[in-house]
A and B are shown apart, each in its own frame.
Chain A
Amino acid sequence: MSALAYDGAAMLGRQLRRVRNNPALVVLVQTMPITMLLFFGYVFGSALAMPGEEYRTFLVPGLLVATAANGIMTGMFQAAQDTHRGVMDRFRTLPVSRAAVPLGQALADLVVSAVGTVPFLLAGLAVGWRIEGPAVRAVAALGLLLLFRFACTWIGIFLGLLTRNEEMAGQLGSATFMLPLLSNAYIPTDDLPDWLRTLAEWNPLSAVTTALRDLFGNSSAPEGAAWPVAHPVAGSLAWCGVLIVVFVPLALRGYARGGR
């Protein structure tokens, strides 16, 4: 166990050093959600039935969660890149704890995304979003957000180890942009046709988004929502638990197996 902690810390250090060596990429990734907040908030916000400021308040938690779901993309790209370039093979031939390499990657991703949340929240405040509940609940919201990010990153690591190919991972990764489109992250699901509403509300992003809106005190779950959205905090925790229980072992096995 102490070997895992030591190796995991070394791998975490590696990932953070890579980020430091490549700051342009980080800045690009972090400005993306802010750009989307401005575009969606003012373009869609002017066209929707919901008043602009209300829509932007609605949008901030949604974009936080959509950004967290990008952990699938970054996790996948990174793991595929390391495999493709032979870096994973080097680690596999070293006396390193089997879990240390993916764990280091997931933790580094968590650190980077936690830091990246700060400028986004400031941008949110600038466009009129507010924390309208107690601070404890807001902190819980951020904790839940990071837990969701962590779960998504493991899905990505698993997929990246499976595809073993940078380009394919890049292509597949862009498909994660679709996930928030079929959820309540950008639009309310109340007015959707029943079947589509059910589908969207069983999307894990919907539960987490609703939980954030609830914990920030922005709005509560809509009437007649599916169970994970009607009980957003429990629903989010359940989703994160399921994803972690399924994808962490799969990713670890994928790493240990390596070249099939």
Chain B
Amino acid sequence: MTTTYAVLSEGLEKRFGDVRAVNGLDLAVAEGTVCGVLGPNGAGKTTAVRLLTTLLRPDAGSARVAGHDLVREAPAVRRAIAVTGQYASVDGDLTGRENLRLCARLHRVGNAAARADELLDRFGLSEAAGRLASTYSGGMRRRLDLAASLVRRPEVLFLDEPTTGLDPVSRTTIWDAVHELTARGTTVLLTTQYLEEADRLADTIALVDRGRVAHTGSPSELKALIGTYAEVIVADTNVMIKAAAVLDRLTGAEPAFHHERRAVGAVTTDPTLTLPRLVRELDAAGVPLLDASLKPPTLDDVFLRLTDTGAERAA
């Protein structure tokens, strides 16, 4: 079976004056999956979303979204997608209910009023439904914005930093909605600065740096590239050398010493190195252990190691 891609871009480019905001973006998001576009501020994430949602015209390159050419079949793309932006784009001069009814009507949803009420309920906005959206809190506005994107189930949903600055409750509501949608076959492309968010939601992560994709892979693949940090804490500074020798043998990497914590650690990419094995080997070598751990890398580590910007920052 061949994979169908809901979003497929090749060499997408967008310049603003001298700035190449998006500079040869190649992105492939398989149907029904969540792709997390991860990158720092200014990496080109928002411009990429604006291109893929027909808000901007690319200067070069091509892309298909939900099977339609982004430029030549823009109206068909718009029928298939929904967008929730970084800045809530609901109308503050309308009530929550009026906002949803308008979107439902524009999407030609049969019973716009009923659909609006259903969504208000789903996103915990029923009580505030009759109030102007301008009086909503940031979290409520974002939830209303997402609800507006879901008046009709989109084939591809774009979420541009959907939880930036949100309270934990709103964040969880949005995460739950994403899970629910993908379970029903919607493809989601989300940009985020939060590693935790990408880790929790995304099937694949595209690491974006300077307008192009620096790396793609599942969260675990990206972490495997970086390796796991094995660290042991010994009871006595005298045995640190002995512990280091064991770690050196097991990981093949040069161990690092943290004398003040009596800790020795080394990076490993060996998947057979499990915590029980680490403990057994150290015990056999007669190292009195206080603690041992295998820490998977955070996406922060991933980012620092796999992008140019990260490399510069680390240097």
Contacts and interface: CB of A to CB of B under 8 A. Distances in A.
Interface of A: 7, 10, 13-14, 17-18, 21-22, 82, 85-87, 89-96, 258-260
A13 B93 CA distance: 13
A18 B55 contact: no
Contacts of B56: 258-260
A95 B94 contact: no
Given A90-B83, A90-B148, A93-B82, A7 B106 contact: yes
Given A17-B98, A95-B107, A96-B106, A89 B55 contact: yes
Contacts of A92: 54-55
A93 B53 CA distance: 6
Nearest to B81: A93
B33 interface: no
B106 A17 contact: no
A18 B91 contact: yes
Given A86-B89, A90-B83, A90-B89, A95 B55 contact: no
Interface string B80-112: 011101011111111100100011011100000
Contacts of B16: 260
Interface string B262-284: 00000000000000000000000
Contacts, number: 68
B102 A85 contact: no
17 contacts: A13-B102, A14-B91, A21-B94, A21-B95, A85-B87, A86-B88, A87-B91, A89-B83, A90-B90, A90-B148, A93-B55, A93-B82, A94-B78, A95-B75, A95-B106, A258-B56, A259-B55
Given A92-B54, A259-B56, A21 B81 contact: no
A18 B95 CA distance: 9
A93 B93 CA distance: 20
Contacts of A17: 94, 98
Contacts of B102: 10, 13-14
**10 shortest A-B CB distances, which residue pairs?**
A86-B89, A90-B89, A18-B93, A95-B79, A93-B83, A95-B78, A86-B87, A10-B105, A93-B53, A94-B106
A200 to B, nearest CB: 38
Contacts of B54: 92-93
B50 interface: yes
Nearest to A7: B106
A93 B132 contact: no
A82 B107 CA distance: 20
A124 to B, nearest CB: 31
Nearest to A92: B55
Interface of B: 16, 50, 53-56, 75, 78-79, 81-83, 85, 87-95, 98, 102-103, 105-107, 132, 148
Contacts of A18: 91, 93-94
Contact of A87 (B81, B90, B107): B90
Contacts of B81: 93
Contact of A21 (B53, B55, B78, B93): B93
A254 to B, nearest CB: 14
Contacts of B95: 21
B78 A22 contact: no
B231 to A, nearest CB: 46
Contact of A22 (B85, B93, B107): B93
Contacts of B79: 95
Contacts of B91: 14, 18, 82, 85, 87
A18 B92 CA distance: 9
B89 A259 contact: no
Contacts of A94: 78, 103, 106-107
A98 to B, nearest CB: 9
A140 B8 CA distance: 57
Contacts of B103: 90, 94
A27 to B, nearest CB: 16
A4 B107 CA distance: 13
Contacts of A258: 55-56
A86 B93 CA distance: 13
A82 B90 CA distance: 10
A94 B74 CA distance: 11
B161 to A, nearest CB: 13
Given A14-B91, A18-B93, A89 B85 contact: yes
A249 B8 CA distance: 33
A147 to B, nearest CB: 27
B50 A259 contact: yes
Contacts of A93: 53-55, 78, 81-83
